[in-house]
Amino acid sequence: MKQSCIRMILAPLAIAAAVFMLSGCTKVQEQRIIRIGHNQSTNHPSHIGLRAFQEYIHSKLGDQYVVEIYPSELLGSQTDMVQLTQTGAIDFCIASNSILETFSKNYSIFNLPYLFSSQEAYHAAMDDPEVTDPIFESTVDAGFTSVAWLDAGTRNFYTINKPIYRPEDLKGLKIRVQQSPTNIEMMRLLGGSATPMGFGEVYTSLQSGIIDGAENNELALRDNGHGDICKYYSYDMHQMIPDLLIGNNVFLNELSPEEREIFEEGFELLNRVQREAWTEGVEDSVNNAKQNQGVEFIFPDTEPFRIAVLPLHTSVLSDIPEIQAVYDKIQEYNLKESSGADMEGV
């Protein structure tokens, strides 16, 4: 009697709990999970920017969407992640512009060495849709579109034990480059031996001596430990290659106009937060490399490097005439920003 009483009291409670749990499950199922992959650590400015994007979408559309971020190549290399984004297996990933030229040749333009004459010209050009739209929209047939650009600083050479002061110093050295025809040709023109490989393989390749050095921004010294192995970092400033957030087209096209607007605001926030965190990240990486990793920073004359690789501009433009207008627009920014810099000095 006592037991049946307890059952009578507990049964409705159990049903209520089950209904509550089921309704909870249904709610989770109704939310669309958005998966974003990238290949950097959680300290990196791009991860910090993505966290801001995640929070923004949560605050505006949290009942419909949950953003999940997968850092550190958890979903594979950048090339793997681009392919996952193409098919819609994931919705977004961050890819270096470098590897995108194999998906649409228009992207080659931002891989050209010494394309931008200053950081100001680079930022101003990348903020101009007249420059970016013809490139970012050129992968529509490939299933994805670039929706935001992210700063990836300036790429410079760094080596295990031979400092680079001039292009001739690269002769005979095996230098890791990103998997892009433009980068391979750049290394050929500079006289080094290009060893293309994914970012995640660079540390062990340096460690085992498969390569003699690599080229990247300063964050690779700190976040990827390259400064533990490479003791010379030479500011030859050969490229300013943006990273791009790319999104699956089916996903983007299925958003309602109101949702798309919120996502666009989120992309702008990502860009802003990432760029702010970038400056701090570079400063911290340089200090860390000097104080804790024993890296020596070298400031060579950049002109011999620039002259050696300039033929690439002519060959890429004659192969891809459709990007000429974008190239010309970038030259306008180069002129404008450098005359602005001169004025400041007056």
Binding site for ligand GCU (CB under 6 A): 39, 78, 96, 152, 178, 199, 216, 220, 243
Q: Smaller CB distance to ligand GCU: residue 41 or 338?
A: 41
H-type alpha helices, 101-212? 119-126, 129-136, 181-190, 202-207
What type of residue is 43? N
Closer by beta carbon to ligand GCU, 61 or else 152: 152
Q: Token match 């559309």: residue?
A: 61
Query: How many other C-beta atoms are found inside a 10 Å radius of the C-beta of residue 314?
Result: 9
Is 200 exposed, middle or buried (CB count within 10 Å of its CB: 0-12, 13-18, 19+)?
A: middle
CB of 52 to ligand GCU, least distance (A): 18
Q: How far is the CB of 169 from ligand GCU (least distance, A)?
A: 21
Instruction: Tell me how far, at minimum, the Cβ of 253 lies from ligand GCU, in Å.
Output: 26
User: H helices then E strands: how many in the chain?
Assistant: 15, 11
CA 346 to chain centre: 36
Find the shortest distance in angstroms from Cβ 337 to ligand GCU. 23
Q: Which is nearer to ligand GCU, 39 or 86 (CB)?
A: 39
Minimum distance between the CB of residue 53 and ligand GCU, rounded to whole angstroms? Answer: 17
If the CB atoms of residues 91 and 243 are measured against ligand GCU, the closer one turns out to be: 243
* 165-193-94 Cα angle (round to 5): 90
Nearest 10 degrees: Cα torsion 184, 98, 109, 35: 160
**What is the distance between the alpha carbons of residues 46 and 93, in angstroms, rounded to a whole number?**
11
Least distance to ligand GCU, CB of residue 73, Å: 9
Nearer to ligand GCU, 39 or 234 (CB): 39
DSSP string for residues in 32-82: EEEEEE-SS-TTSHHHHHHHHHHHHHHHHHTTTEEEEEE-TTTT--HHHHH
Comparison of 216 and 334: residue with beta carbon closer to ligand GCU: 216
Which residue, 61 or 185, is less far from ligand GCU as judged by CB?
185
By beta-carbon proximity to ligand GCU, the closer residue of 96 and 156 is 96
- Whether the CB-CB separation of 189 and 308 falls below 8 Å is answered with yes
Neighbours of 34 (CB within 10 A): 21
- Dihedral sign for Cα atoms in the order 49, 337, 111, 217: negative
Nearer to ligand GCU, 153 or 300 (CB): 153
Query: Read out DSSP for 238-251?
Result: EE---EEEEEEHHH
CB of 343 to ligand GCU, least distance (A): 32
The answer to whether the CB of 270 falls within 8 A of the CB of 50 is yes
Distance of closest approach, residue 21 Cβ to ligand GCU, in angstroms: 42
Cα angle: 94, vertex 95, 96; to 5 degrees: 130
In angstroms, what is the minimal distance from the CB of 99 to ligand GCU? Answer: 8
Q: What are phi and psi of 39, to 5 degrees?
A: -110, 15
